[in-house]
Structure 1
Amino acid sequence: MKVAIAGAGAVGRSIARELIANSHDVLLLERNLDHIDEESVPGARWVSGDACELDNLERVQLHKFNVVIAATGDDKANLVVSLLAKTEFAVARVVARVNDPRNEWLFDDDWGVDVAVSTPRMLASLVEEAVSVGDLVRLMTFRQGQANLVEMTLPDNTPLAGKPVRKLKLPRDAALVTILRGGRVIVPVPDDAVEGGDELIFIVPAEAEGQLRAAIIEPAAPA
């Protein structure tokens, strides 16, 4: 997969190293000459230039990339890069870094963003996930499909214990994608049974979160 990363600061370089380790073809586009250090990310292609300028995106042939990641430390720049990638170059997948959570509402498909990643929001969600039992925690929003990645930790005494996945009454378009049980990561099949203490990871439309809560959490509440 070909991935272009706008912004080669600490975040952009870290993402690039991870992608290269997984055998992806990575280009780093950086306007600050002080941030250009080819030895810091072996295997990446480095280009000097402002990713907000159309000429530079044309020069790197952005239309040939499968994914664009706007990873600069400037939310305005990340929005401009996302919009250009989607509208001018028809990039299939655009991921944008949100530096200031107050700007998160802007990072949607109107600006070409498919997935917005807010580090403060993710850290807060992980804290909630670590301490919340019997509640729904939103981990991430997928902007293009208006769906959310959510987590629920079942209480140890849940009446759902032993119930197979196929009998969970999930709302339409909701999907159970992973069960975390102790140190195990389980990709569920219909006959797998849930247990108390399981962390259930779902993808669900925003409007169906209440139904999911009713189907999974409320039945687990004490009578």
Structure 2
Amino acid sequence: MKIVIVGAGSVGRSIARELLDKGRTVTLIDREGARPGLDEVTWVQGDAAELDVLEKAKLAEADVVVAATGDDKVNLVVSLLAKTEFGVPRTVGRVNHPRNEWMFDDAWGVDVAVSTPRIMTSLVEEAVSIGTVVTMFSFAKSETSMVEITVPETSPIVGKDIGDVAWPRSATLVGVVREGHPRPPAESEALEPRDELLFLAHRSCLTALQRTVVPRGLEETTAALPVVRVSDEDED
């Protein structure tokens, strides 16, 4: 699989290293050219918003293009050119400023938008929220998201078997994290306080999902529960 990454900042280089470790073929495009420490990468120096630079990087042969610069305008232009001029099957666009996130869709050739500020916000919410649905990430061209909700001690689903809970129809439980360890959602397993439940859920059912775990009238009690989990996630 050939992957072209635009932008050799800390984000672009980190992605390149991870992909190289997985045995992928990586090309990096950057205005400043090659950087030390990534000898296995094919480097192309130039402005990625220019067609001749993208042609030099052989974008037409790429399976995935990752627009990872610190400039949202450049990331949008690269994604659009990758789709319209080179027919790249998959594009990933980095969103630097949340106010621009609405533009990162298929109209601009973006298949997957990755917003660092939104991810960091989700991690903070996940670390301090109990009994509240937290959106971890959303799937492109879909109204489905991966969401998390931590079961409070006062929840009526505590002690119930997973298979006996009437989950909303558009929410699928895909995993449970208990005491820091992931486990499959076995229907015969009883739910415990502080279980972290991971769902694939349509946005239309998020309110119903939260009411299943925390019915109306319990919000104030839930909000008073102490937080025992600390997230030390740090993203460059």
- TM-score of Structure 1 vs Structure 2, range by shorter chain: 0.7 to 0.9
Whole-Å separation in 2 of the counterparts to 1:46 and 1:156: 54
Aligned to 1:25: 25
Q: Cα deviation per residue 1:66-114 (whole Å; 9 max; x = unaligned)? A: 2221100100000111112223333332211111111111112221222
Letter in 2 for 1:140: F
Q: Which moved more, 1:16-25 or 1:68-77?
A: 16-25
Secondary structure of 1:73's partner?
coil
| Kept after mapping to 1: 8 A contact 2:71/2:96 | yes
| Kept after mapping to 1: 8 A contact 2:150/2:197 | yes
Greater helix content:
1
**What are structure 2's unaligned runs of at least 5 residues?**
222-236
Secondary structure of 1:5's partner?
strand
Whole-Å separation in 1 of the counterparts to 2:135 and 2:38: 33
Letter in 2 for 1:102: R
Using a 3 Å threshold, how does the CA distance of structure 1 residues 87 and 187 change in structure 2: closer, same or farther? farther
**What are structure 1's unaligned runs of at least 5 residues?**
none
Give the ranges of 4+ consecutive aligned residues of structure 1 lying more than 4 Å apart after TM superposition.
none
Aligned to 2:124: 127
Of 53, 58, 75 in structure 2, the residue corresponding to residue 56 of structure 1 is 53
Residue 128 of structure 1 deviates from its aligned partner by 1.2
Identity of aligned residues (%): 49
| Kept after mapping to 2: 8 A contact 1:158/1:220 | no
Aligned to 2:199: 202
Secondary structure of 1:218's partner?
coil
Aligned to 1:188: 185
Using a 3 Å threshold, how does the CA distance of structure 1 residues 89 and 169 change in structure 2: closer, same or farther? farther
Equivalent residue pairs, number: 220
Q: Cα deviation per residue 1:130-183 (whole Å; 9 max; x = unaligned)? A: 111000111222222232221111113432234333334333443222221112
Using a 3 Å threshold, how does the CA distance of structure 1 residues 25 and 171 change in structure 2: closer, same or farther? farther
Q: Which moved more, 1:50-59 or 1:12-21?
A: 50-59
Using a 3 Å threshold, how does the CA distance of structure 1 residues 177 and 212 change in structure 2: closer, same or farther? same
Secondary structure of 2:214's partner?
helix
Q: Which has the larger radius of gyration?
A: 2
| Kept after mapping to 2: 8 A contact 1:3/1:68 | yes
* Structure-to-structure mapping, 1:25-104, within 5 angstroms: 25-33=25-33, 36-37=34-35, 39-104=36-101
TM-score by length of 2: 0.82
| Kept after mapping to 2: 8 A contact 1:159/1:220 | no
Aligned to 1:156: 153
| Kept after mapping to 2: 8 A contact 1:96/1:113 | yes
